[in-house]
Amino acid sequence: MKAIILHEHGGPEVLKLEERPTPEPGPGQALVQIAAAGVNFIEIYQREGRYKLPLPCGIGGEGAGTVMAVAPDVTEVKPGDRVAWLDGSGSYATHAVVPAARLAPVPDGVALEQAAAVMVQGLTADVFTGRTYAVKPGDRVLVHAAAGGAGRMFCQIAAMRGATVIGTVSSEAKARVAHEAGASETIIYTKEDFEAEVKRITGGQGVNVVYDSVGKDTFDKSLACLAPLGHLVLFGQSSGFVPPFEIQRLAARSLTLTRPRVFDYVAKREELLRHAGQVLGWIAEGRLRVLVDRTYPLEQAAEAHIALASRQTTGKLLLIP
């Protein structure tokens, strides 16, 4: 098998493709031949050392493929099953052993590449708009980076749940992408002050919830965009980590702030199957559209990281073994 192995923390150049023995599944595990692996910001943070991994190690948590073999004690899947996952180990590879309990079935009518593209971002949007803050008809929702892989999922799912969606984007081209994904209004933050525009669009009322994957550069104005009793869901930091702040600031309008991780919401298999089944089912029904911006062979994993970090992509990036 071939796999990207991380021997040291650093820039994209530390992502090295190596030949490794194909592993055998251990207790509770399945061996999967990977059809596609998702590229996510968390892997950039792991590569840089912001999130520590024991070295040397594989990298990549999200993917989809076909089960090749299972351990004798595995009952969740069988060889030949088409499966997808969001918290496996070493998905930047041709093969991986993944805990069988973390594998979700991919329904007929959904390509494995589509499944690999939505397991992190699609389930994140489903969970955070359904449980972290339960979006309801009539809500006003602000989504940052609305034309990106996660942003498009949030726009579509929040709109499906009846919200009026406002998306921030960096260009006219990305504004069109966000509109197509369900944003009623878009704000080009490179030309306009998004706080002022949100207040103009909402008649000064603000929004009920902000979904913020940007972090440091948007945090203060995201709080300012909230209506009384509003919620800021901070789920990423593509611009850097938010520095410590005075929690008393939330009291001015009885605001709430949360920093959730999708993995904790789907830690139980029944929850994983429920949310993965819903998101993949929407794709099969044609209700949720998946946009893959670019695909790369494994040996170009560094180029994929550079493209994602540039924040100039629209939609999902995949590695194709």
Starting at the earlier edge strand, list the strands of the sheet with 164-169.
Answer: 185-188, 164-169, 140-143, 207-212, 226-234, 256-258
For tokens 């009920």, what's the residue? 208
Which pLDDT score is estimated for 89?
A: 78
Q: What are phi and psi of 243, to 5 degrees?
A: -70, 165
**Predicted TM-score of the model (pTM):** 0.93
133-151 pLDDT per residue, tens: 999 999 999 999 999 889 9
Question: What homologous superfamily is domain 2-120+266-320 in, according to CATH?
Answer: Medium-chain alcohol dehydrogenases, catalytic domain (3.90.180.10)
List, for the chain, all residue ranges whose pLDDT scores fall below the cut of 70: none
CA distances from 293 to 96, 114, 239, 285 (A): 24, 12, 21, 22
Model pLDDT, residue 153: 96
Q: Tell me whether strands 104-105 and 140-143 are parallel, antiparallel or unpaired.
A: unpaired
Placement of tokens 């603000």 in the chain: 206
Angle in degrees, CA 297, 302, 306, rounded to 5: 115
Superfamily of domain 136-259: NAD(P)-binding Rossmann-like Domain (3.40.50.720)
- Give me the amino acid identity at 93: A
Query: Quick check: 183 and 156 in contact, CB under 8 A?
Result: no
Sequence spans of domains, the chain? 2-120+266-320, 136-259
pLDDT at 239: 84
Nearest to 139 by CA among 153, 120, 118, 157: 157
Report the alpha-carbon distance of residue 307 to residue 243 in Å, rounded.
26
108-113's contacts with Cβ under 8 Å and 24+ in sequence apart are 108/284, 109/283, 109/284, 110/280, 110/283, 110/284, 112/35, 112/36, 112/64, 112/65, 112/66, 112/82, 112/84, 113/35, 113/36, 113/64, 113/292, 113/295, 113/318, 113/320
Give pLDDT tens digits for 152-178: 999 999 999 999 999 999 999 999 999
